[in-house]
Structure 1
Amino acid sequence: MESSLPRFQQLRRTEPTSNRTLIGTVVFMGLLQVVSSVAVVLHLTGHLQQVTQTGPTLVETSDDLRRGESQRCPKKPREVTPSAHLPIQPPSGHIQRDIQDTMIHWDHAHGHLSKIGYHDGRILVRKGGLYYIYTKTCFRYYDQVEETLLESESHAPGRRGASAEPSIDREDGAGAGAGALLIQYVFHERHSHNVPLKPAVLMKSGSTRHWQRGHYHMCCQQQGGAFPLGPGDSIYVSVSNSWLLDPEAEGSYFGAFRISR
């Protein structure tokens, strides 16, 4: 009887400890569940970012981003603009004095042609659109030109008694003293069923010059404008008194380029 009393007292002492342990465990599990729930909510709302790195991280630079975008969206090849720039073709041999309108021929071998053709003094349009057309022609006069031309004329067959003395005034109006009419035209040719239509004047510029003997004279005519051209159309330049043209490529040229469709 005496031995059973201490055992009962020992059981009563261990019972509160077990209760406290059980309560602590329940409270801990509750707190853990609350923390887990809060973490899930924050993660879903974007307030919590989980960063887990097991190795070195590759940081993309702006070049990498641009390269990736270009691979995903390849750029279309840049369209080449039709364009032409042609210097004047230097005369070969004897210069024929002519006051009438004469088409100028251009040195396409030393010029620029891109998506545009050239034939017999004409720029040929391959792709229609709105084109800016420009041209510049320089005329020059000095005694050496006049004397050379007159000397060659005096030795021409069928010419007898021609004076070797240079004459400025001439009946045909080509002489400088009589007033040289310097006119520049830009023509536009259309084709209908492969038949060329009558050329139309796009631009015109001119002046009359009274040049004196014993002096060097130069006059330049320059024009430019935007005009619609169709496939197969052609443009060319014509001038009066073409024998006075300056043969330098920097002074006389002809060109065009497309500015819109």
Structure 2
Amino acid sequence: MQAPGSPSSRLTSVLILIFTVLLQFFCMAVIYMYFTSELKQMQDKYSKSGIACFLKEDDSSWDRNDDESMNDPCWHIKWQLRQYIRKINLRTYEETISTVPEKQQDSPPLIREKGHQRVAAHITGTSPRRHTFLVPSSKNEKVLGHKITSWESSRKGHSFLNNLHLRSGELIIQKTGFYYIYSQTYFRFQEDDNISTVENRKKNKQMVQYIYKTTLYPDPILLMKSARNSCWSKDSEYGLYSIYQGGIFELKEDDRIFVSVTNEKLLDMDQEASYFGAFLIS
């Protein structure tokens, strides 16, 4: 039997220690090679998928009012790339402005702000008819009224979009700041020939307009509301009412704002009378 302090026992301990270290190193090397291979495969797959998204033909517009494209992985890839390019351009612009000599910075405000991008949107009703696309409040119990989704944004008439996007009736904010938000809805009431005048007037003619914003928080947040109660004379065959409201609110990037109304059957989407918009103040 060898003594604990003998040379052979010390040599055995050293060999065991070296074997343990080599075994751990070998295991770590195998694990590293495995995860490196898996990560490379995932990167190659994602890269090929991303390239395929840009190579295939896509006629979709950023301002389409549907939810189908929002669920498309390619749409998200393009959206992220667009956001990244926008941030890089903004950073480059700010760095360029900061390097301008003081004499040039003392020039009139109109010259300095000439390159600044305007952030504004004005979207209008689609037709003078009352038939329009509205989403009932039953889809979201936290939203009152019916959400208007059929706004016109393709620069027909008075509508336009500058650095804001429209999707499913919602304006999507691209830049954090204080915005003036406004909306007007136009209501047209006409007596139904098949229903008696007395019975028709007994119906609820309360008209309310709501403006909501949605954030990362799951429930929409009510920003403004305005209401009118109709009171037509006995001899009137029709009635016209409009509700307008506006206010300044702080909005963050990717926030969305939209309009909903009650008594949607009375809504008239005439482009000069029903509209919705916002613009950046600071």
TM-score, reference length from structure 1? 0.55
Amino acid corresponding to residue 137 of structure 1 in structure 2: T
Aligned sequence identity (%): 31
1:209 Cα deviation (Å)? 1.3
Moved over 6 A (4+): 91-100
- C-alpha distance in structure 1 between counterparts of 2:115 and 2:175, whole Å: 16
Secondary structure in structure 2 of the residue aligned to 1:243? helix
Amino acid corresponding to residue 102 of structure 1 in structure 2: H
1:168 Cα deviation (Å)? 4.7
1:255 equivalent in structure 2: 277
Amino acid corresponding to residue 254 of structure 2 in structure 1: G
- C-alpha distance in structure 2 between counterparts of 1:134 and 1:76, whole Å: 25
Question: Any residues of structure 2 matched to 1:239-250 within 5 Å, and which?
Answer: 239-250=261-272
2:121 equivalent in structure 1: 84
1:101 equivalent in structure 2: 145
Question: Any residues of structure 2 matched to 1:21-36 within 5 Å, and which?
Answer: none
- C-alpha distance in structure 1 between counterparts of 2:131 and 2:278, whole Å: 30
Q: Does 2:240 match 1:218? A: yes
Given candidates 149, 159, 162, the residue that maps to 1:114 is 162
1:63 equivalent in structure 2: none
| Farther-moved stretch of structure 1 (87-96 vs 119-128) | 87-96
Q: Does 2:234 match 1:209? A: no
1:213 Cα deviation (Å)? 6.4
- For the aligned residue pairs, the C-alpha RMSD in angstroms reads 3.1
Amino acid corresponding to residue 198 of structure 1 in structure 2: D
Cα distance, 1:168–1:127 mapped onto 2, change above 3 Å: farther
Deviations 1:172-229 (A, max 9, x none): xxx443341100000010026xxxx210100011022133564221111110000000
- C-alpha distance in structure 1 between counterparts of 2:131 and 2:259, whole Å: 22
2:212 equivalent in structure 1: 187
Secondary structure in structure 2 of the residue aligned to 1:256? strand
2:96 equivalent in structure 1: none
Contact 2:128/2:271 (<8 A) preserved: no
- C-alpha distance in structure 2 between counterparts of 1:129 and 1:95, whole Å: 32
1:167 Cα deviation (Å)? 3.9
TM-score, reference length from structure 2? 0.51
Contact 2:208/2:228 (<8 A) preserved: yes
Amino acid corresponding to residue 228 of structure 1 in structure 2: E
Contact 2:206/2:263 (<8 A) preserved: yes
Amino acid corresponding to residue 234 of structure 1 in structure 2: R
Q: Does 2:139 match 1:129? A: no
1:127 Cα deviation (Å)? 0.9
- C-alpha distance in structure 2 between counterparts of 1:133 and 1:95, whole Å: 22
Amino acid corresponding to residue 175 of structure 2 in structure 1: K
Contact 1:187/1:201 (<8 A) preserved: yes
Contact 1:142/1:213 (<8 A) preserved: no
Secondary structure in structure 2 of the residue aligned to 1:134? strand
- C-alpha distance in structure 1 between counterparts of 2:222 and 2:119, whole Å: 22
Give the total of aligned pairs.
163
| Farther-moved stretch of structure 1 (86-95 vs 238-247) | 86-95
In terms of fraction of residues, the more helix-rich structure is 2
Question: Any residues of structure 2 matched to 1:218-237 within 5 Å, and which?
Answer: 218-237=240-259
- Unmatched 5+ stretches in structure 2: 1-102, 138-143
1:247 Cα deviation (Å)? 2.2
